[in-house]
Structure 1
Amino acid sequence: MPSPIPIHRILPEGFPPTITLRPCSSPNQLQRGGQHFAFVKQTKELTQRPWYTVIWDELKLFDLLGSGGFGWVYKGTYYGKTVAIKKVRKCTKNKLAARQSFWAELNVAHLVHENIVKVVAATTSVPASPQAEDSVGIIIMEYAGGTSLDHRIYNCADSLDVEECLRFSSDIASGLGFLHSHSIAHLDLKPANVLLTESGRCKIGDFGCSHKLAAGNDLSPNGQLRHLGGTYTHRAPELLRGCSTTLKADIYSFAITLWQMVSRDHPFSGDRQCVMYAVVAYNLRPPFSPVFNKTLMGRKIRSVIDHCWAVEPIDRPSAEQLLETINNLKSLL
């Protein structure tokens, strides 16, 4: 299946976009001069195999972790190691969107960072079965834990204390900084897409809305295609207005996420269209509850949020600046 994303966007560094392709599970299996080139997973945890190759005999599916419009996510094992397996579902109403989502997930296939969910393997060549007919492809990822930040915020008896809020925020900002250093905008950052490991660290996942921006430039040259997905409550106002994507859209989403961690409330209620209109036309933002004003640290966190959800992207901090600010606040505890 051809990728709707230009091939030069997913080539390994150092390879020109003129390399001819051969039939394979993904466009990252390359051929030049009789030799085959591919992204090779640099890890001792599994095996030194190209990440686009799935060895089906080594893949075992167990529990269903979740499902939705994107498809299904299972817990399983691959070469004996616990992994998460995402089966991307075809969308009958918009087949292109399903394929774009699949390939967008692979924007981070070659990246490794402690605060990013790692891709282990991926393929569009699924063995014949009734389920395969409804599948765009399969992505095998590291298993980062069965708990999301959303669950921790809204479904646990104890609220997050300041130390946890800042620690989680530091992890998220670190992950964003790494993505942004590779010109990748996540575009769907929210608590449900942040996983909590057993050790209590955050990993950003679900890159189905992500976009690789032009190298050395945080501005998408084709903004009209950059914000069709994502969650409206966390979507930056410039994207709601139909402007081009910048990396600063993720900083706005971070602000909403941090507000949720502190307030334990949902950012907006009411009609979806009315909320989006108010965010754009009247600069609507979630209200600050008294918890933000009770302590000096609460007021400092409020200031961080205010800075991050500024109307204009240029007025928001970069992920690197945000991480520095959060770590400075951590040092005051």
Structure 2
Amino acid sequence: MSLQRAQMPQDFGLARLRTTTVPTVTPGAGTPAYLAPECYDAANHVITHRSDIYSLSILLWEMLAGERPWADCLVMELGYKVVRQGRRPPLDALDEERCPLRLRNLIQQCWEGDPRRRPAAAEMVKCLALVQQAGRVGQGRLRVLGDGRVRRGVHRVYTGVGP
């Protein structure tokens, strides 16, 4: 998190140089709720930067929704829902104020089951910059958390790391 309290995701642990494809012996490496569908495939020994695009979009959903994705699912159930059923976290629960149409469309593109159909990182940056310029993500929203704390706008992402 920056000094301005902006979320600053760095790397999900699977990114590699764009010009290389590094084989992995553990395609399921990573946090299950953020894994791209191809990461659940034991026969898939090549994970690319496109998996990180999917993971980032799950993180975006988490920041907008203010809740953990798939919090009520066991790992096996989650894999079945994501891979076999093609399910994703519910975007329809986010209203236009919280998640403008342009951002919603970007997230849906990032959730494509076929990694080749996901947008490039540069395309994501461009879209996110346009959404930010419009200044419409989560403005004016207050939310009272279970412990009585009040949050405005984008909610803190709980990673389980740090204080």
Q: Which TM-score applies when normalising by structure 1?
A: 0.36
Output one character per residue of 1:61-93: Cα deviation in whole Å (capped at 9) or x when no partner. xxxxxxxxxxxxxxxxxxxxxxxxxxxxxxxxx
Counterpart residue type for residue 230 of structure 1: G
AA matched with 1:316: R
Contact 1:236–1:249 (CA under 8 A) maintained in structure 2: yes
Alignment of 1:92-107 (within 5 A): none
1:157-176 to 2 correspondences below 5 Å: none
Structure 1: 5+ residue runs without aligned partners?
A: 1-195
Could you tell me which residue of structure 2 aligns to residue 237 of structure 1? Answer: 37
Relative contact order (C-alpha < 8 Å, sep 6+): which is higher?
2
Aligned position for 1:313? 115
Give the superposition deviation at 1:262: 1.0
Match of 1:301 in 2: 103
Give the CA deviation at 1:309: 1.0
Shift of 1:206: 7.3
Q: Contact 2:110/2:119 (CA < 8 Å) preserved in 1?
A: yes
1:235 maps to a residue whose letter is: L
State how far apart, in whole Å, the 2-side matches of 1:211 and 1:315 are. 17
Any conservation in 2 of the 1:226–1:245 contact (CA below 8 Å)?
Answer: no
The answer as to whether partners of 2:14 and 2:51 remain within 8 angstroms in 1 is no
Residue 233 of structure 1: how far off its partner (Å): 0.5
Q: What's the CA shift for 1:228?
A: 4.2
Aligned length: 132
The equivalent position to 1:254 in structure 2, one of 56, 59, 68, is 56
* Cα gap change, 1:280 to 1:228, in 2 (>3 Å): closer
Pair 1:241–1:331, CA change in 2 (3 A)? same
Distance in 1 separating the partners of 2:98 and 2:80: 33
- 1:287–1:298 CA distance, 2 compared to 1 (3 A): same
1:197 is aligned to 2
Q: Which residue of the partner structure matches residue 281 of structure 1? A: 84
Aligned residue among 94, 101, 126 for 1:324: 126
1:310 counterpart SS class: coil
> Counterparts of 2:98 and 2:10 in 1: how far apart (Å)?
32
The Cα of 1:297 is off from its aligned counterpart by 5.3
SS of aligned partner of 1:331: helix
Work out the CA distance in 2 between the residues paired with 1:263 and 1:247. Answer: 25
TM-fit CA distance, 1:250: 0.5
More strand by share: 1
CA radius of gyration, larger in: 1
Unpaired segments ≥5 residues, structure 2: 136-163
Q: Is the 8 A contact 2:82 2:88 kept in 1?
A: yes
- State the partner residue of 1:270: 73
Q: CA deviation at 1:249?
A: 0.4
Taking the TM superposition and a 5 Å limit, the aligned residue runs for 1:120-199 are: 196-199=1-4
Off by >6 Å, runs of 4+ in structure 1:
none
Q: Quote the offset at 1:212 in angstroms.
A: 3.9
Tell me, in whole angstroms, the C-alpha distance in 2 between the residues paired with 1:330 and 1:203: 14
Sequence identity percentage: 24
Once the two structures are superposed, the pairs formed by residues 102-121 of structure 1 within 5 Å of their partners are none
Instruction: Give 2:103's aligned amino acid.
Output: I
1:324 CA displacement: 0.7
CA distance in 2, matches of 1:212, 1:300: 28
